[in-house]
Chains A and B, each alone.
Chain A
Amino acid sequence: GDSVTQMEGPVTLSEEACLTINCTYTATGYPSLFWYVQYPGEGLQLLLKATKADDKGSNKGFEATYRKETTSFHLEKGSVQVSDSAVYFCALTSDNYGQNFVFGPGTRLSVLP
């Protein structure tokens, strides 16, 4: 079945450092890929998405590129802020009826001032 693998962390960075959270996937067909962010005590919010190969999703300074050849969707940000501290989930769906979302285990990011 479909699966998502991502580094579990925790990842601890200083403010203004560069961030990369790796995500790789296995899926049948052509999945859509997502990054979600979860702040403490809250639900998941969509951060960015990409629906086909070579698409780049971007939002709030974060970006990720859909790499079909390496089956990857790594999350990057050039300069993190304390407010970026959260848990980040990589996810996919390869079902055209939206019945099957698969999430990675989540990566906890802590940014220190």
Chain B
Amino acid sequence: SQTIHQWPATLVQPVGSPLSLECTVEGTSNPNLYWYRQAAGRGLQLLFYSVGIGQISSEVPQNLSASRPQDRQFILSSKKLLLSDSGFYLCAWSVWGTSTEAFFGQGTRLTVV
């Protein structure tokens, strides 16, 4: 069966520090991969999605970036965090070439102080 792992679960970082969140999927090949952000009490904002290795589409311009160095690995990064980057970050995957559901990781709670 397929599983998605996202870490760390919680993170407190100072303003101006770098960020690296990692997400891996097991049990499937060539998945679509997504990074979403959820601000407190708000809905989901799509940040990036990827349909293959090295293929990243950005939905919202900001100081975050994403990379997909391997088929089932998706990394969210920042060189210098802002206070406004605080939020709940969710990784998700779906089956490429279908309109089936997306499966979500457990999320990372990021607090920038």
Contact = CB atoms under 8 A, between A and B. Distances in A.
Interface of A: 31-32, 34, 36, 41-46, 49, 51, 89, 91, 93-99, 101, 103-106
Given A31-B99, A96-B97, A96-B98, A43 B32 contact: no
Given A32-B100, A43-B106, A46-B101, A101 B43 contact: no
B41 to A, nearest CB: 8
Interface residues of B, number: 27
A34 B44 CA distance: 14
Contacts of B74: none
A98 B97 contact: yes
B46 A105 contact: no
Contacts of A46: 101, 103
A34 B90 contact: no
Contact of A98 (B43, B90, B100, B109): B100
Contacts, number: 68
B96 A98 contact: yes
B97 A43 contact: no
B90 A103 contact: no
Contacts of A94: 99
Contact of A105 (B42, B51, B98, B107): B42
B101 A49 contact: yes
Contact of B34 (A32, A45, A89, A101): A101
25 contacts: A32-B99, A32-B101, A34-B101, A41-B109, A42-B106, A43-B6, A43-B105, A43-B106, A44-B104, A45-B104, A49-B100, A89-B43, A89-B44, A93-B99, A95-B99, A96-B97, A97-B32, A97-B51, A97-B96, A99-B49, A99-B57, A101-B102, A103-B44, A105-B43, A106-B42
A30 to B, nearest CB: 9
A32 B99 CA distance: 7
